[in-house]
Structure 1
Amino acid sequence: MPETIIITGASDGIGAAAARALSASEHTVVIVGRSPEKTARVADALGAQHFVADFSKLSEVRRLAEELRERYPRIDVLANNAGGIFGDRTLTEDGHELTLQVNHLAPFLLTHLLMDRLILSKTRIINTSSVANLSGNIDINDLDLATRFSPGRAYSNAKLDNILFTSELARRFGAEGITTAAFHPGVVASNFASESTSPLRVIYRSLLRNTLISSEKGADTLVWLATTAPGRDWTSGNYYIKRKPGRTNRQADDAGLASALWERSMALVE
């Protein structure tokens, strides 16, 4: 049965690849991206509807949520896929470290603003994380990394935030029909890290790029989570790599930290 699937960060990379795969299955795929030109190009090729939002501005996340609520009475899948690794420590106009906001606070806010609609739809919420979560070390009192900042540390922490957000979503809303999973797409040949000053940009701009997997392969687990049954094919609240449960940072199992992150995130986006 065709479903309505919203994918953020879908103007390029695994988001665009997932949109192509899911559109081929006759689902209604909604493309969300930052670049008006790239987002429209992907959507037009698929005959899909699209929306533009820059997650470095929470005002645009709020506008996006309003537009999605107006357009879609039912949302079967919300794929929070937008994210990235950046350069020197930068604060957004909202006063948050850029990596934290784009990778965690913006999708947290979008999900929160859509939650009543998601509950009615018994939505599957899919969060793009990374194996980089293993290097994370979250201090709930310094999510913005005012001390000991590095691009890699900010990204690792944000990807661990994604996993904690996933587990807390399952705990808070599982009884209301919400199911959710996080996943690692693999090291994908895309424009990821193009704005970064971290060592990762060397991989993505060098001959080593030839060893990376395609966006289509990177999107495989996202597509699998979007099209299979939680409770039968996968377990809500878990983290997956190549369709199998993945190893996570020890902090990922800290229910108290997950709850504290939720409350702190809510305070930061109010």
Structure 2
Amino acid sequence: MSDLVLRGRTVVVTGASSGIGAAAARRFTELGATVAVIGRSPQKTAAVAKTIGAESHVVDFSQLDDVRRLAEELLTRYPRIDVLANNAGGIFASRKESTDGHEMTFQVNYLAPFLLTNLLLDRLAQTPGGARVVNTASMDYRKGNLDLDDLDTTRNRYRWRSVYSTSKLATVIFTRELARRQQGTGVTASAFHPGVVASDVGRDSAINGALMRSWLGKALLSTPEQGAEPLVHLATTPDPVTIDGAYFHRLDREEPKNTQATDPALALRLWERSALLTGLSATNRG
């Protein structure tokens, strides 16, 4: 890959105040891109942005109104968006509800990125040469079980690993459906598993947090830089059409190993339900 391959291009990275997002933001800057560093913590997000000479933008994915505000801010600030990296996410040890009344894992990992992507779609479609949406998923999608009648986990017992897996399954389904809907527009979409990375994704769990910070965790887990490799790869692959709608396990393309991930009827219903839950009008539903 040549130096400054992203010169003149704009990359938006969510979850960039630490971990994979921060590492990816640094790499994109090294490749010449203008990077929008987006995170939840004003202090940490500003610190990352300062180190790479970028601008910081703060958002709380537990509030859909704040996602809408962020979208307006990005549209005002950046006349073109070449890559949208939906990387923000979280794991919650116990069931919590967002201010919008949704189960927190489902909203932070899926609904908020779904909304942000749709609000930026017109700008992405206007990008000369095409634009890319790259979604951070997880191999845990294989264990997910999407129940459209219980997206907020109100009927079934809350098991954090199962809920997390299902949110990542929704991400994979969303990626494939977005790619289908955007055919011919110049917008492509792909998703990836970054590896098991030492990051802040499990900050809500004392046990997960302790593992991430321990010497054992650091020895066994991938670094944020390693976790960012597939994100950068998908954002810079010469011909994005070849990876449109695809899921990658690290750097290897993988055919989905969950039958729900390839169900077109389920993908359509999930999209329509998500549009309703996020308040998107019929004209904004992709």
Normalising by the residue count of structure 1, what TM-score does the alignment of the two structures yield?
0.95
| Aligned partner (choices 33, 36, 39) of residue 27 of structure 1 | 33
Letter in 2 for 1:187: V
Alignment match, 2:102: 96
Relative distance call for 1:249 and 1:203 in structure 2 (3 A) is farther
Distance 2:166 2:210 in 1: 21
- Please say if residues 124 and 131 of structure 2, whose CA atoms lie closer than 8 Å, have aligned partners that are also in contact: yes
Provide the rounded CA distance (Å) in 2 between the counterparts of 1:45 and 1:70: 24
2:86 is matched with which residue? 80
- Tell me which residue corresponds to 1:48: 54
Deviation beyond 3 Å, 4+ runs, structure 1: 199-203, 205-208
Note the C-alpha offset of 1:154: 1.1
AA aligned opposite 1:76: D
**Within 5 A, what are the aligned runs for 1:1-270?**
1-2=6-7, 3-121=9-127, 122-146=130-154, 147-196=156-205, 200-201=208-209, 203-209=211-217, 210-231=219-240, 234-246=242-254, 247-270=256-279
Structure 1, residues 156-196: CA drift from partner, whole Å, max 9, x if none?
Answer: 00000110000000111122111010000000112221212
What does the per-residue CA deviation read over 1:128-172, in whole Å, with 9 as the maximum and x for residues that have no partner? Answer: 000010110000111111122211111100000110000000111
Q: CA deviation at 1:201?
A: 4.7
Shift of 1:230: 3.5
Q: Secondary structure at the match of 1:174?
A: coil
- Mapped contact 1:170–1:237 kept (Cα < 8 A): yes
Q: Secondary structure at the match of 1:182?
A: strand
- Given that 2:37 and 2:45 are in contact with CA atoms closer than 8 Å, whether structure 1 keeps it comes out as yes
Letter in 1 for 2:120: L
What is the RMSD computed on CA atoms of the aligned residues? 1.4
**Structure 1 stretches of 5 or more lacking a match?**
none
| Equivalent in the alignment of 2:283 | none
Percent of aligned pairs sharing the same letter: 51
Farther-moved stretch of structure 1 (214-223 vs 248-257): 248-257
CA distance in 1: counterparts of 2:250 and 2:62, whole angstroms: 30
SS of the equivalent of 2:184 reads: helix
Equivalenced residue count is: 268
Provide the C-alpha distance between the structure 2 equivalents of 1:120 and 1:231, rounded to a whole number of angstroms.
16
| CA displacement, residues 187-233 of structure 1 (integer Å, 9 cap, x when unaligned) | 01122212126x6456425443021011100100001111123446x
* Amino acid in the other structure paired with 1:124: R
Relative to 1, partners in 2 of residues 1:30 and 1:152: Cα closer, same or farther, differing over 3 Å?
Answer: same
Pair 150,59 (structure 1): closer, same or farther in 2 beyond 3 Å: same
Match of 2:110, SS state, is helix
Equivalents in 1 of 2:271, 2:46: separation in Å? 33
Shift of 1:27: 0.8
* C-alpha distance in structure 1 between counterparts of 2:152 and 2:239, whole Å: 33
